[in-house]
Structure 1
Amino acid sequence: MKKMCMAAVMVAGGTLGGYAQQAGDVSVKLRGQEVKLSGMLPAVGAEAPDFTGVDGSLSDVSLNGFRGKRVVLNIFPSLDTPTCALSVRQFNQMAASLPNTVILAVSMDLPFAQKRFCSVEGIENVVPLSVFRNPEFAERYGVLQVSGPLHGLLARAVVVVGADGKVEYTQLVGEISEEPDYKAVMEALK
């Protein structure tokens, strides 16, 4: 297997980082250690799989509830890590300049922790969603870490869903401890 020399590699309207193999056999790295994932991100042009997450008020929120708006899924392992926290702060800043766009910060963190983080950090432009009781999200989006020290948590990825519910862009970050390519996300949103 050939090692990728960049954190993420552009492929067919999105990016796939780490080692790209065939469907169901995708892996990324965590501090250089290979981590296998449960599947692949949805294909660009495909209908984005609907899912339900839990917001800070413990209400269920579905992706389909945002139909008519563009949605950015900022997917990550946990707000209790510096890189994940940084990505939410960065997307919060970006969201202010994105009309008709909602950014969902998706992790398995408990809604209480997400709410506390957003309150302390002044996060107002991002909607935190916990998928702790909705395992179908990780399976439908192929981002469940099935090996490695963070086994059971989500990998780092970004998915842009158009107002029509179709996937417009994907980015699977090849090294989980690194940030997503924000510039590429912004380009995809133009």
Structure 2
Amino acid sequence: MKERSPQQIVHLDLDVKGWLASPPTVDRARPARCPRCGAAACPLGGGLGLWGHGSRSRQVRGPLAAGERGGLVTIEVRRYRCRRCGATITVVPRGVAPRRHFAATAIGLALLLVGIASAALIEVRRRVSPWSASFDADSWATVRRWLRAIDQGRLFPSVRPSPLAASLRQRAERAAMTLVAMAPFAAEVLEAAVMAGAARAA
């Protein structure tokens, strides 16, 4: 069986709304260098180091901006192949979380609603998820999965794990406030700050 090339994720400095409005060209989205081996994408006097490797559709779920309700959009992300090491690089908009259908911004908002606003999980789901129906009518297990992924370093790796004895709301508050602190601007509205911080932390 042929071994699959290692996957690398690179974020372009363009949010999902901007990507939808004007998808970047192959040249615009091409990273400056391979994130795996460091090879230059366009070395002086040489051929391309990162070749366009097609595109693929990717779902992005949840609100795309503060004050919006959860939705679902599909974007075409760009892919590249490194000629030196063979890595496949996928370029995504700012705020897209690797290996997650929900946007990082939506996850950050959900953590804020649970941890700071003390909203019930059912209400958080209605606000963040594109679907209101669920087999679990009184809860939303996805939030617990996100918190577990944070504690295991698989989501928002810059957010430190919570103490073992911390409750669900305490863990969500700790993560949300860390994301707020990572926002590149001061915002009076916490929702805008946590979403900006989550986009940066993704």
Higher strand share: 1
User: Which structure has the higher relative contact order (CA within 8 Å, separation 6+)?
Assistant: 1
The structure number with the bigger radius of gyration is 2
Higher helix share: 2
Q: TM-score with structure 1 length normalisation?
A: 0.26
Q: TM-score with structure 2 length normalisation?
A: 0.25
